[in-house]
Structure 1
Amino acid sequence: MLGMKVLLYLEGEKAISKSGIGRAIKHQQKALELQGIPYTTDEHDDYDLVHINTYGLMSWHLLKTAKKAGKKVIMHGHSTKEDFRNSFLFSNQIAPLFKWYLMHFYRAADAIITPTEYSKQLIQSYGITCPIFPVSNGIELPKYTPDKAKEVAFREYFKLSAEQKVVISAGLFFRRKGIEDFVKVAEQMPDVTFIWFGQINKWLIPSKVRRLVEKNHPQNVIFPGYIKGDIYEGAMSGADAFFFPSFEETEGIVVLEALASHQQVVLRDIPVYEGWIGEDAVDFASDIDGFVAALNRVLSGQRNKCEAAYKVAESRRIELVAKQLATAYQKVMEL
């Protein structure tokens, strides 16, 4: 491990700082600090291995330059064709081209790091043969320890009484994230406040989703935009449930945040959670009626899976991820 310096690269950092990828690179930095591995985020610095998190033209140029200079290159498999679909305007039409484009990066890398066994299998199904290491994005547990002051700040920010039932979610305004189902479920539970944290330039998403966020939602749904810090962390533990109806993820950082917050969690039953999140820790459902039933069980106190949920987050805590990341880097340096 001695003598290895890592370049962590994120193209267009400002544009994607509010996304899961933006959060993931912060976790990578923390992981390297925990392991005492020197790193830089400046591509003009000296380095031995580059860990590329994005897929733009500058990322491609860096990949080719690094390979030519004899440096090791790891691509981070944040993205797949499957999770690109139902996101941006025209994403479904572009998805096959996006997959072809992704494969150029994945084929050119010495190795790939991706958050779950599920996303590893997807990338392998594209015909990629280089080593693929499943390493969670990780979670900083202390940040999401329930804190009464943060929970009060959350309720005061949204002018919610202590008795008001609240269900939250977080993510970009993508159909893939299940935002339409989130609103449909809220329509069936008018006495409950539903809050969706997150934002994106609304002209990048289909008009139907844009109208849903701007005006076509019931009064009990709030879209406050992107909020971080005490209000968000207070919501994660101080709400009555975290409901994430996403159709496709490579892991789901916001799910880890909810689990770490000792929160009651309701998820769509999709393959990415297989093998690491079980029904002992969360409630799974697949349609509107199922989501409503699951949330009603949680809100009426029939379910308490908080401790099992927290244990899942513990298994992906940043300290463990740091060791797995260091091991992956070492193996790539030895290739």
Structure 2
Amino acid sequence: MKILLYSEHLKLVEKSGVGRAINHQKKALEENNLSYTINKKDDFDIVHINTVFPSSLWMSKFAKAKGKKVVYHAHSTEEDFKNSFRGSNFLAPFFKKWIMKCYSSGDLIITPTPYSKRLLKGYGLTNPIVNISNGIDLHYFAKNNQYSKRFREKYQLDESDKVIISVGLYIERKGILDFVELAKSMPEYTFIWFGYTNLNAVSTKVKKAVETTLPNLYFPGYVNSEELRDAYSGSDLFLFLTHEETEGIVLLEALAMKIPVLIRDIPIYEDWLTNNENVYKSNSLDQFKVSIKGILNKELPSLVEKGYEVAKERDIRFIGKQLEQEYRKLIAASEIEYTIEKAKNLNAGDTF
């Protein structure tokens, strides 16, 4: 069994959650000794598609025409397309129709969470859908004092400085407007947002927020995974203000790094993250302020060990086993289909 991880136009998504998910899949397959290729000219049994470009849909149809099985990974929904780039709300209904066309071409749809699975079923998709986490590499994302020291030195932070970080594109859906407002109202803390989007593509409100000048607010832009790991190690709180997600790989990274986590209380996290148990949740700016102070002043109990257990359940090696199970089901179904078709042809021949 050989898997084609279809990676055309990877450069366009490599700095996004989709790009990270593709890298996680490579690692998950390698850790489980599963054969894969990223070269579409190689022979393969199953194509696993993560993107929704026109070439991705073409690849799905091409593979099916060759008798190959297609796994379509649903990372995007209409809901998380909204409030992203300029004009995204107007385009969202058209985007939904397009992704439905892409996803419906698969023999199997994989999506990261039960929440995103419910959304897709609500669209009327009839293909089999399973939810499998994007996973987290616990060996790589592990807290280390050296990482912490490197982060603090780079950003000229004293040991006594309380640092709050977030990670994501410069888009409204990610909660960047609230992040800036909190920085304005809490000058005693340092706020750092990692990630980048061309400001020509974002709304006026987001552009204004990113261009805000405050002594305690920093936008270093996109950083590589090593620098991000340093930041997780050296900061005091991961603040995830997103309004909509299909999972949130950076959240898994923060949980794995055993950093206190405060998130917005949204439906996607109802199934697997519990307030006051493995994370803290808030909704309004006032609630976030209270929670931030409680966590950083250690007035609230640490939940990092319980949060780590959540990440542990999504270890990339376990995710690889889940993927393998679904791949093998498709191969078995393909063999059954071949046997049935062969029997039909033999019977048709007997008629003559």
Match of 2:257 in 1: 261
The answer on 1:205 being equivalent to 2:226 is no
CA distance in 1, matches of 2:141, 2:107: 35
CA distance in 2, matches of 1:154, 1:263: 14
CA distance in 1, matches of 2:103, 2:16: 21
Asked if structure 2 preserves the Cα contact closer than 8 Å seen for 1:154 and 1:230, the reply is no
Of 274, 277, 280, which aligns to 2:270? 274
Alignment coverage as a number of residue pairs: 331
Amino acid at match of 1:194: F
Deviation at 1:211, TM superposition (A): 2.4
Match of 1:322 in 2: 320
* Correspondences of 1:1-335 after superposition (within 5 Å): 4-213=1-210, 215-279=211-275, 280-303=277-300, 304-335=302-333
CA distance in 1, matches of 2:113, 2:173: 18
Asked if structure 2 preserves the Cα contact closer than 8 Å seen for 1:32 and 1:39, the reply is yes
CA-to-partner distance for each residue in 1:128-164, whole Å, 9 max, x for gaps?
1111110000001121211111101101111111110
Amino acid at match of 2:322: Q
The runs of 5 or more residues in structure 1 that have no matched partner are: none
Other structure's SS at 2:298 match: coil
Deviation at 1:73, TM superposition (A): 0.5
Deviation at 1:216, TM superposition (A): 2.4
Amino acid at match of 1:74: V
Other structure's SS at 2:268 match: helix
Greater than 6 Å deviation, 4+ residue runs: none
Provide the aligned C-alpha RMSD in A. 1.0
Amino acid at match of 1:314: K
Deviation at 1:57, TM superposition (A): 1.2
Amino acid at match of 1:290: Q
Asked if structure 2 preserves the Cα contact closer than 8 Å seen for 1:167 and 1:243, the reply is yes
Amino acid at match of 1:238: G
Asked if structure 1 preserves the Cα contact closer than 8 Å seen for 2:109 and 2:129, the reply is yes
Asked if structure 2 preserves the Cα contact closer than 8 Å seen for 1:5 and 1:47, the reply is yes
Amino acid at match of 1:35: N
Larger radius of gyration: 2
CA distance in 1, matches of 2:266, 2:329: 31
Compared CA separation, residues 81 and 229, structure 1 to 2 (3 A): closer
CA distance in 2, matches of 1:111, 1:314: 26
Deviation at 1:237, TM superposition (A): 2.2
CA-to-partner distance for each residue in 1:207-259, whole Å, 9 max, x for gaps?
2212221x225331100001124432121122110000000000000000000
Deviation at 1:96, TM superposition (A): 0.2
Other structure's SS at 2:140 match: helix
Amino acid at match of 1:176: R
TM-score (norm 2): 0.92
TM-score (norm 1): 0.97
CA distance in 2, matches of 1:334, 1:79: 28
Deviation at 1:261, TM superposition (A): 0.4
Asked if structure 2 preserves the Cα contact closer than 8 Å seen for 1:151 and 1:231, the reply is no
CA distance in 1, matches of 2:270, 2:67: 38
Asked if structure 1 preserves the Cα contact closer than 8 Å seen for 2:57 and 2:105, the reply is no
Asked if structure 1 preserves the Cα contact closer than 8 Å seen for 2:145 and 2:233, the reply is no
CA distance in 1, matches of 2:254, 2:261: 7
Identical aligned residues as a percent:
46
Asked if structure 2 preserves the Cα contact closer than 8 Å seen for 1:138 and 1:316, the reply is yes
Deviation at 1:125, TM superposition (A): 0.4
Other structure's SS at 2:219 match: strand
CA-to-partner distance for each residue in 1:71-95, whole Å, 9 max, x for gaps?
1011101000000000011000000
Amino acid at match of 1:219: P
CA distance in 1, matches of 2:98, 2:227: 38
Other structure's SS at 2:179 match: helix
The runs of 5 or more residues in structure 2 that have no matched partner are: 334-352
